[in-house]
Amino acid sequence: MRTTERNSRLQQRGGGAPSFDFIDLFAGIGGMRLALERLGGQCVFSVERDKFARKTYEANFECDHPFPRDIAEISLGRAGVPVPPHHFLAAGFPCQPFSLAGVSKKNSLGRPHGFECKTQGTLFFEIAQILKNRRPALFLLENVKNLRSHDGGRTFEIIEDTLKKDLKYHVVSHVVDARAFVPQHRERIFIAGFREPCGFGFDDLQWPDDEQPVLASILHGTIDDETPEEPYTSLPGITVSERYTLSEHLWEYLQAYAKKHRMKGNGFGYDLVDGFSVARTLSARYHKDGSEILVDQSPRPRRLTPRECSRLMGFDSFINGRFCINRVSDTQAYRKFGNAVVPQVVYTIARGMLAAAAAAGYPEFGTWKSHERMASA
């Protein structure tokens, strides 16, 4: 795609001419990209392995840049797809334990070791390699909130040591609940990194202070001017397809399952919701039976539709339209939204990062402030 066409696309998402370049690692369906494009960024490189996530990503974004399937295919002085220079690295990386066997051996022999020894063989290692070789000004990493306690806290300790001590970045992390933007509780840890010191802090970010949304803002039949969308809804009115209503057998099973675990003092089971509710976290396992979040109706509850999942994750409201999801099955759509990041959260954090970098005199973001004002006008 020509530069002028790309710039036009950015303007439609809230930007003008691109003011910084970013790469989108473990891109999923593009939640981070939506946010960074809104802030005036231009994506110059993406990586995503899952073929169904790639279908959705390509349906919603122009991918005229390198888009390898596996981060192991990239090139940093070796054969593979070259990673271009960039100002901002974004990655929602999978959580993996680190093997300390190599480190322990080198310690016993009195030999020095670095992050290559501690993180070799993990996907985080690939991120660290890019940070080491390309030295982008900023990075934003996202993961489940339990990253801090994963493997007895060792995983997060190694990640922080690698970023701070080995790679010399200034790092701030915080667990953020997306509740301010969407009608679900969704806590994720965000790790913000800066090549040079600046005054960024999560406590200084501007979060919405108006009334928080409830499920009436995303459920079919409760939204003004909603039009039917096959195969999820149809006329008359906005009628949700019967395919999403639980069978008698499944409903009886879920009730028995929940009762059994209540008696044991466990919290497992379904969450029955209506338009006044706030949902629990949408899980990537929602495709199994939809038991986490069920919409109350007669005679039996129903699962959320993929369109409602897109709204629940904030995708539709962020683009003020319908995020394209009909190129994959319902099962895959549930998985992808369950693994996604809420774009509004990334936008708020990244906006604060860019503002702090610009105020600190980062040359890469000298024009960002005026550009972002235009994007938000």
Give the per-residue pLDDT at 266: 73
Q: Is the pLDDT of residue 236 over 60?
A: yes
Q: If phi over 0 gives left and psi between -120 and 50 gives alpha, with beta otherwise, what is residue 361?
A: left
Helix, strand, coil: what percent of the chain each, to 5?
40, 15, 45
CATH of the domain at 286: 3.90.120.10
CATH of the domain at 16: 3.40.50.150
Q: Within this chain, do residues 142 and 55 fall inside the same structural domain, yes or no?
A: yes
Secondary structure of residue 344 in the 3-state scheme: helix
Q: Within this chain, do residues 118 and 56 fall inside the same structural domain, yes or no?
A: yes
Q: Within this chain, do residues 237 and 197 fall inside the same structural domain, yes or no?
A: no
Q: Within this chain, do residues 370 and 228 fall inside the same structural domain, yes or no?
A: no
Domain extent for 292: 215-338
Catalytic residue among 95, 198, 309, 324, which? 95
CA distance 305 to 39: 30
- Closest to 342 in 3D by CA, of 30, 23, 93: 30
Q: Is the pLDDT of residue 67 over 70?
A: yes
CA distance 86 to 2: 19
Q: Where are the alpha helices (DSSP H) in the chain?
A: 3-12, 31-38, 51-60, 101-109, 115-119, 123-134, 154-161, 248-263, 286-289, 306-312, 315-319, 330-338, 343-359, 368-376
Q: Where are the alpha helices (DSSP H) in 24-175?
A: 31-38, 51-60, 101-109, 115-119, 123-134, 154-161
**Tokens at 122, concatenated:** 């993990």
Q: Within this chain, do residues 16 and 30 fall inside the same structural domain, yes or no?
A: yes
State pTM to two decimals: 0.88
Q: How far is CA 108 from CA 37, 101, 104, 229, in A?
A: 48, 11, 6, 64
| Count of the separate structural domains present in the chain | 2
Q: Within this chain, do residues 196 and 228 fall inside the same structural domain, yes or no?
A: no
Give the per-residue pLDDT at 75: 60
95 is catalytic: yes
Q: What percent of the chain has pLDDT over 70?
A: 83
Residues forming beta bridges with residue 175, ordered by sequence position: 189
Q: Within this chain, do residues 197 and 220 fall inside the same structural domain, yes or no?
A: no
Q: Within this chain, do residues 293 and 370 fall inside the same structural domain, yes or no?
A: no
Residues forming beta bridges with residue 272, ordered by sequence position: 294
Q: Within this chain, do residues 242 and 189 fall inside the same structural domain, yes or no?
A: no
Q: Within this chain, do residues 222 and 262 fall inside the same structural domain, yes or no?
A: yes
Q: State pLDDT tens for residues 124-180.
A: 888 999 999 999 999 999 998 888 888 888 889 989 999 999 999 999 999 999 999
Q: Within this chain, do residues 345 and 334 fall inside the same structural domain, yes or no?
A: no
Q: Is the pLDDT of residue 227 over 50?
A: yes
Q: Are 178 and 314 in contact (CB under 8 A)?
A: yes
Q: Are 169 and 193 in contact (CB under 8 A)?
A: yes
Q: Within this chain, do residues 119 and 42 fall inside the same structural domain, yes or no?
A: yes
Residues forming beta bridges with residue 245, ordered by sequence position: 302
